[in-house]
Amino acid sequence: MTAVSRRSLLPMQGHTRGNRSAATCHYKCGDACLKQEASTSTSPPFAAVAAAALSRRGFLAGVGAAGLVAGAGSSVFGAMPAAAVPNGKGGQPGGDGLAHVSSSFAFAPIAAVAATVDQLNVPEGFYWHPIISWGDAVVAGAPAFDLDAQSAEAQEMQFGYNNDYLAILQERWNWRSAVLVANHEYTNENLMYPGFVDEASLTVEQLRTSMAAHGMSVVKLHREDRTGPWNPEPSPLNRRITALSTRFRVSGPAAGSDLLKTSADPEGRTVIGTLNNCAGGTTPWGTVLSGEENFDQYFRGDPLGDPRNRDTYGLVGEDGSAGDGRFWWKVDQRFDVVAEPNEINRFGWVVEVDPHDPTSTPRKHTALGRFKHEGAGTSLAADGRVVVYMGDDTADQHLYKFVSKNPYRGGTSAWARARGADLLEEGDLHVARFSAEGDPSSDHDGTGEWIPLTRDGASAVPGMTLEEVLVFTRAAAAAVGATPMDRPEDVERNPVNGKVYLACTNNSRKAAPNPANPRAMNRFGHVVEITEDHDDAAATTFSWTLVLVCGDPADPTTHFAGYPKELVSPISCPDNLTFDDQGGLWLTTDGAPGSIGSNDALHYVPLAGPERGHVQQFLSVPTGGECTGPWVDLDGGSVFVNVQHPGETDESRVDAPASLFPYDGTNRTPRPSVVQVFRP
């Protein structure tokens, strides 16, 4: 239940790129910060819009708009120690010191933990339990994990690497049973293979093993009591979906397009594999959506190739060079853009998997657009149509919304799941434009509109065909003047209050603010609260406010929905989010070590009443790790997270690891894991 070994480390070595270590920047996003990923939108960046709105509203008295756009040289933007909130000191003022999430779930907020500490910390009275880790068996017949005898064949039967999105789908009629679905975003070869030198030196079998470690896992779980630990069990449902061998059906308007045809797939309707799967979403009909994010890093580039990929999606560096990617072209030439120029167009989509049918063929939904998807938050419009909210997780990219043509009729049967997937094949794709305009007396900082990119099965962007809009969606969004955002990541609609919440992680490269992105050189990130007009997810207009402007509470430019700063936990670089059944917001972070000096964490934030904006830290992950995929089950008394890339520091190797998470006493290298936190 608890860690059997813990150790402190020396300060991390090496430089940082923005808030991330060089190792994270390289392995997670393919050195995206060293590339030009063009956004040619004519709209002002979100930070400029936010600054105007906040200045008009007198937001942050005594600081004003000037403070909100402080330059990188300002002392409040330095990497400072986090302001600690001791256990039991972050709760309701004058109360018992607890965060009361519901009538049955409360916790004592923990203090921020220094980024050098290799430890998973949870509130007093809670325990943590690794449900499944990289290399554990998923499919029947999988061999036991052996660090020195890895193979692609074994990895295709074992839990993959760097799990990001997480869903725990419980059976209503059987509380002992659930299905776990997890994404596997990317691999850290330096922490996987003993004797690692560099990526160019990896053997073909090691490359194939890394490909098999990407994708998704479906795992049946069981437990012995309603509030106890979950554990994997053998089941026909158990399944690995990988970048190496799984077939996907291309759905929607771009299926069969010339832009998706390759020598191996002249019809442009079948793709092998999914990769860099980041966040996701769970549909009303019981399937799981997964967003393909930094797909460009897997391809050997072509400096003379299609500029719509070469420039807009960062396929080349700032010096115009095209790299070798992850060297997957040594395994399969489809990852060489010169040999197969269209293969790259077959990645960057939202994929859908039916975890209840292991024989089903996953789909890639082209109607939802192609970009670097963080996730796909699903909701229903007033008339029953399906709405999917999506962020493009790159600096100065955009927020999107898809609205299906037809309504969801209900149900989670096999027929309903297939019918639900069909709903995502037809509909209209929109992109957001934010404005500072609005009623000064309102509770909102501005307004906005959803600009159509497709309408009634046709392009709504002058000069672009429907297929071009869907395959090169970034160019379409820029052409219609969408608002550039500070790395729009996870975005979901709150099932209790109906508002939409967008986590903007950071944007260290941005020189000027805009209305909904209030800081230049934004190292700390913020959270935008969006209210759809008439509380209808299909609305074409909305209002918005900044509910959190993150950072150390001592920083005068921070804002926590008006809650007293001296009572909140420090939070930086919000990333994934979810809601409990009371409407409370749970936020993970990605970049706190490089911005406020603490390990990444999971925070709880009430959104209503006198506690609105009261950020309270629930847990922190080990050094070098990222907290992802939050899933909250208040009835079961459990909170689930993924501990992604533990030990990912610039100097860490298998032979000299910076972490030994999950501390089982035999680890020679850290193993990304799904963790359950519960009170026995």
| Nearest to 424, CA basis, from 391, 378, 492 | 378
Q: Is the pLDDT of residue 89 over 50?
A: no
651 burial via Cβ count (<10 Å: 0-12, 13-18, 19+):
middle
Band of residue 125 on the pLDDT scale cut at 50, 70, 90: very high
Predicted confidence band of residue 79 (pLDDT cuts 50, 70, 90): very low
Alpha helix ranges (H) inside 603-654: none
E strand or H helix that includes residue 189: helix 189-192
Pick the residue with more confidence: 3 or 342?
A: 342
Q: What type of residue sits at position 295?
A: F
pLDDT tens per residue across span 637-647: 999 999 999 99
Q: What is the pLDDT of residue 650?
A: 87
Residue 346 has pLDDT above 90, yes or no: yes
- Between CA 260 and CA 573 the distance in angstroms is 35
**How do residues 436-449 score in pLDDT, each as one tens digit?**
887 766 788 999 99
pLDDT band at 51 (very low <50, low <70, confident <90, very high): confident
Three-class secondary structure of residue 423 per DSSP = helix
State residue 82's pLDDT score: 27
Work out the angle at residue 493's Cα, subtended by the Cα atoms of residues 490 and 499, and round it to the nearest 5 degrees.
120
**Least confidently predicted of 32-46, 220-234, 491-505:** 32-46
pLDDT of residue 520: 74
Taking the mean position of all CA atoms in its chain, how far away is CA 612? 24
User: Helix or strand or coil: residue 329?
Assistant: helix
pLDDT at 72: 26
User: CB 306: neighbour CB atoms within 10 A?
Assistant: 18
More confident: 348 or 320:
348
Side-chain half-sphere CA neighbours of 410 within 13 A: 1
Structure tokens at 203: 């053997």
pLDDT (mean) for 450-457: 98
Note the pLDDT of residue 27.
Answer: 77
Residue 351 Cα distances to 128, 146, 369, 473, angstroms: 31, 31, 11, 16
| pLDDT > 70? residue 256 | yes
Q: Which of 56-60, 273-277, 576-580 has the lowest mean pLDDT?
A: 56-60
Measured CA to CA in angstroms, residue 591 lies from 68, 98, 481 at distances of: 20, 27, 29
Mean of the per-residue pLDDT values of the chain: 88
Q: What is the reported pLDDT for 515?
A: 64
Q: Which amino acid is at 635?
A: D
The more confidently predicted of residues 671 and 1 is 671
Question: Coil, strand, or helix at residue 511?
Answer: coil
Structure tokens that stand for 328 in this block? 């997957």
Percentage of the chain beyond pLDDT 70 is: 87
Q: Specify the range with the lowest mean pLDDT, choosing from 364-373, 517-526, 626-635.
A: 517-526
Q: Return the closest-CA partner of residue 524 out of 443, 656, 615, 630.
A: 615
For residue range 262-278, what is the model confidence (pLDDT) as tens digits? 999 999 999 999 999 99
CB 326 within 8 A of CB 407: no
Judge whether residue 76 has pLDDT over 70.
no
Residues facing residue 168 across a β-bridge: 180
Domains of the chain by start residue, with CATH: 7-460+470-678 (2.120.10.30)
- What's residue 39's pLDDT? 65
Mean pLDDT, residues 473-483 taken together? 97
State the Rg of the chain over Cα: 23
CA distance 472 to 648: 32
Q: Name the residue with tokens 């943590």.
A: 128
Instruction: Say which residues have a Cβ less than 8 Å from residue 609's Cβ, sequence separation at least 6.
Output: none
DSSP class of residue 55? Answer: H
pLDDT (0 to 100) of residue 440: 67
Q: Which residue has the higher pLDDT, 302 or 260?
A: 260
Residue of 543, 554, 547 lying closest to 583 (CA atoms): 547
CA angle 267, 271, 272 (to 5 degrees): 135
CB 432 within 8 A of CB 446: no
Give the separation between CA 154 and CA 209, rounded to whole angstroms.
8
pLDDT band of residue 49 (cuts 50, 70, 90) is confident
Of residues 101 and 97, more confidently modeled: 101
Q: Which two tokens stand for residue 619?
A: 């847990």
Check residue 26 and give its pLDDT.
Answer: 73
Residue 80 has pLDDT above 90, yes or no: no
Residue 183 pLDDT > 50, yes or no? yes
Given pLDDT bands bounded at 50, 70 and 90, which one contains residue 13?
A: very low
Say whether pLDDT at 71 is over 90.
no
pLDDT at 505 over 50: yes
